Copies of this chain bind each other. A is one copy, B any other.
Amino acid sequence: MTERTLVKNLAAREDGTVTIAGWVETVRDQKKVQFVILRDETGSVQVVNPATRESDGTNDAAVATTEAISGLTTGSFVRVTGELKHDERVKLGGIEVKLASLEVASLAFPEPPIADDSSIDKRLDWRFIDLRRPEQNLVFRAQTTFEHALRTWWVDNDFIEIHTPKLMASASESRAELFEIEYFEGKAYLAQSPQFFKQMAQPAGFGKVFEIAPAFRADPSFTSRHATEFTSVDAEISWVDSHEDVMAMHEQLLVAGLQAVKDKHGDAIKAAFDVDIVVPTAPFPRIPLAEAHEILKAHGYEVPRADGDLDPEGERQLSEHVKETYGHEFVFVTDYATGIRPFYHRRHDDDASLTNSYDLLFNGVEISTGAQREHRVDVLIAQAEEKGMDPKELEFYLDFFRHGVPPHGGFGMGLQRVMMLMLHQPSIREVTYLFRGPNRLLP
């Protein structure tokens, strides 16, 4: 392995020989001296080389190096060994590396296919180059930290990690937006969510489970927050009394995740995105959906939906109200009407028109749905029929409730939405490693 020093660690090193490796950001090829800005995954540094333009018979190596630098294209990957020098006059971090030897690992094609002002679509065509931008690198470092903090919280709290199958014999929730697969002699479907299978962990006696995994929706939308494949963050726990228990878990998890991101990347995120990561205080505000409508009305906004659900503008305005009133970036909107919730959400004991469920909004956008599940199989069947579903197609799922099952609940949360809203990005495309949409399967 090349023993290389990461650029971020150069400043703390004493002057002396170092090897660095990364890609060429710019070359300034002056007559007497050459400058290369080399970037790696942690930062960029200036490499300097006195140009040797003419051979005098004894300086062939120096001439070759000079010519190699002259030939360097933006994006080429190189290894440089040289003398690290601290020098306050150097704008880029007060250090530079005086080149002793250069190894070109891979020369990039001369013309980079995208520039800083390329459209998002063009950038996605060349996502692997787009990802070289330091802000993009930071997105995925922050995401790594966020996810690891969630998992660590779960592990510390005795949750079991599960890997539910994405191949299913039938629909997970509805036949709409379902991808169909040729499966040997028959058909299979791609799971839209791990919903049924994470619930299965409850009659299995697993108690508390989590999963972070892909989910698939054949959704023809082209909005800033929809994709045909996304990363779903899921948890499900036994012995809840209501959705309140799920929310209590959910908010602790987000506190842990955002605390970790703030601790590790707070300054870098401020510098790159001008965003202050705020660690939320628990409990998060909770507002029943009916009350949310009253609040919006009082703000002069009437949600233009017949079904009573919030629309994106309603979510935005409600979040604004919550931020003004409670100084909080999150809000649980609770007690959704039965008509706009899936059949497996448990209803209030004293009012079947309302469910033990919630949506979680973060900076104006829904990131998650959670609920207590209906675990009484007779009620579950009745609710499925009421929604026009055929219980026969749900047999494998209904079986989970026939051989003993504890009361339970959980949530599913879109990871890319969380990252988009955490970093104030305009679209999940900016925070997805490789976005997938109706028109995008490449690269």
Contacts and interface: CB of A to CB of B under 8 A. Distances in A.
B165 A155 contact: no
A402 B109 contact: yes
A379 to B, nearest CB: 11
A129 B128 CA distance: 45
A105 to B, nearest CB: 5
Interface stretch (A49-57, A146-154, A337-345): A146-154
A434 B203 CA distance: 14
Contacts of A389: none
A229 B190 CA distance: 12
A197 B434 contact: yes
Contacts of A207: 40-42
A157 to B, nearest CB: 12
Bin the interface of chain A by size.
35 or more
A79 interface: yes
A143 to B, nearest CB: 7
A218 interface: yes
A197 B214 CA distance: 15
Give the copy number: 2
A354 interface: no
A443 B172 CA distance: 11
**Which has the most chain B C-beta neighbours within 10 Å: A167, A183, A216, A405?**
A167
| Residue from the set A73, A77, A179, A240 with the largest chain B CB neighbour count within 10 Å | A77
A292 interface: no
Contacts of A203: 77, 128-129
A376 B105 CA distance: 9
Interface string A216-248: 101010000000110100000011110001001
A239, A241, A248, A442, most chain B CB atoms within 10 A: A239
B128 A376 contact: no
A76 interface: yes
A106 B184 contact: no
23 contacts: A4-B239, A23-B406, A41-B160, A41-B207, A75-B403, A105-B375, A107-B404, A108-B404, A109-B402, A127-B200, A128-B200, A128-B201, A137-B205, A140-B162, A164-B434, A165-B433, A167-B441, A179-B188, A180-B181, A183-B441, A184-B438, A197-B433, A396-B443
